[in-house]
Amino acid sequence: MVLSMKKRSATDFDLVELEALLLSTGIEKYRGRQIFEWLYGKGVAAFEGMTNIPARVARRLREAGIEPVGSVVERRVCAKDAAEKSAARLADGSVTEFVLIRHGRRNTLCLSTQVGCAVGCVFCASGSRGFVRNLTAGEIADQYAHALGSLQAGERISNIVVMGMGEPMLNLDAVLGAVERLHASWGANIGLNRITISTVGYVDAMRRLAGSRLATNLAISLHAPTDDMRRLLIPHGPAVSVGELVNAGVEYSRTTGKDVSVEYVAIGGVNCQPAHARSLAKLLRRTGIKANIIPFNPWRPAEPQRDGPSSVKARAVSETGQEGVEKGRVSGAEPDAVVLKRPSVAEVTAFHRELERRGIPATIRASRGGDVAAACGQLALRTPPRA
């Protein structure tokens, strides 16, 4: 009989669990803190680099099927604007990604929570491939260890945004497990005020997060001031109106005292006309919620794989395509294709100014890493899965 042993990683465990495992394999309990110090304090992701972990401990853990992390960084691409994007291969062959955005001393790490995404926002590369699977807490924490290990001397990760591939509220247990690893003193020891989770708006899960001891800042991906426009951009999103969603954001900030903002991907000729700014301002007035405008970053679908999903093709996005989106369709284009384009600088500036004139604090976020496909889900899309 062949016994197959499930491989696990140290990042799959919290401290109590790892200590219990160590004791059960005859290893001193204090090795748990040491291993986590290497992983979450120094970004050393191999036993060989953990200089105070004796070879016999590493050997025994390996015999028990435990490695420090469960993924390997396969590709790392640096953009001109200091965004560094990495694709990591998971144990089952699928691919996830994380992005390190350097801005002086404040480096921000963007983490993924799923492979693909079931929500399928029309402008998003992650959604274009459909949902593959949830990441585990360990696989999310791995991304932090890998990113930490890639830093130069003197650099640090000061902020975390959970804005990579996937919808965090549809994988909340694992996301909470990852936040625990990032926040705990035995983990990365990062304050909850320096972590922001982005969601397309699953309000029950938002309430669960608010009620947990791990409530972070929250970014709500709104993208539209009306329900009709929102349905066009997020056709399979949560059944919640824009009004209810903003109210849920206000409730979240009251319950937790954390920052709440809305994200607004500005798509050329679609959702960022002055009239949209006026209705968005009405929606956000007196809520204390600020707006983050993200100019749409056009992406190209990966080369269709021989047996690959046809949906990638159907969602082709073109920067130079016809203008205007009407009921989710563009006349003359293939039936499922929505043609979206980057907004002009003038469009975005006018939208921003209109919001600020109406008393809504707003910023324009540079969509970094466009030249290396570094926006949400774009590198993983180009790194084919392997069985």
The DSSP string of 215-275 is --EEEEE---SSHHHHHHHSTTS-S--HHHHHHHHHHHHHHH---EEEEEEE-TTTT-SHH
Q: What is the nearest approach in angstroms of ligand SF4 to the Cβ of residue 226?
A: 18
71, 139 contact by CB (below 8 A): yes
Sequence-ordered list of residues with C-beta below 8 angstroms from that of 312, at least 6 positions apart, any chain: 128, 129, 301, 302, 304, 381
The verdict on 167 binding ligand SF4 (CB under 6 A) reads yes
The verdict on 325 binding ligand SAH (CB under 6 A) reads no
Contacts to ligand SAH from residues 159-218, by CB under 6 A: 163, 167, 198-200
Nearest to 236 by CA among 333, 344, 318, 118: 118
242-256 and 274-284 are packed helices; what angle lies between their axes, rounded to 10 degrees? 40
Which tokens is 200 given?
A: 């397309």
Which position among 99, 110, 124, 224 is part of the footprint of ligand SF4 (CB under 6 A)? 124
376 an active-site residue? yes
Tell me the residue nearest to ligand SF4 as measured from the CB: 127
Which position among 265, 302, 338, 360 is part of the footprint of ligand SAH (CB under 6 A)? 265
Q: Which stretch binds ligand SF4 (CB under 6 A): 81-89, 123-131, 240-248, 313-321?
A: 123-131
- 18 vs 293, beta carbon nearer ligand SAH: 293
339, 315 contact by CB (below 8 A): no
Name the amino acid, one letter, at 50.
Answer: M
Check 97, 167, 180, 354 and give the catalytic one.
97
347 an active-site residue? no
Tell me how far apart the alpha carbons of residues 248 and 195 are, in angstroms, rounded to a whole number. 19
Q: What is the nearest approach in angstroms of ligand SF4 to the Cβ of residue 135?
A: 13
Q: What is the nearest approach in angstroms of ligand SAH to the Cβ of residue 55?
A: 41
- 181 vs 315, beta carbon nearer ligand SF4: 315
Q: What is the nearest approach in angstroms of ligand SAH to the Cβ of residue 124?
A: 4
Cα angle 141, 139, 103; round to 5: 45
Nearest to 165 by CA among 138, 190, 203, 133: 133
Beta bridge partners of 218: 197, 260
- 9 vs 136, beta carbon nearer ligand SF4: 136
Check 110, 124, 272, 376 and give the catalytic one.
376
How would you label 109-130 residue by residue, b for 16+ Cβ within 10 Å and e otherwise? bbbbbbbbbebbbbbbbbbbbe
Nearest to 111 by CA among 49, 175, 65, 201: 175
Residue 67 interface partner, choices ligand SAH, ligand SF4, none, CB cut-off 5-8 Å depending on type: none
- 127 vs 187, beta carbon nearer ligand SF4: 127
The verdict on 123 binding ligand SAH (CB under 6 A) reads yes
The verdict on 301 binding ligand SF4 (CB under 6 A) reads no
Active site residues: 97, 376
The binding site for ligand SF4 (CB under 6 A) comprises 117, 119-121, 124, 126-127, 166-167, 200, 221, 376
The binding site for ligand SAH (CB under 6 A) comprises 123-124, 163, 167, 198-200, 221, 263, 265, 294, 296-297, 299, 367, 375-376
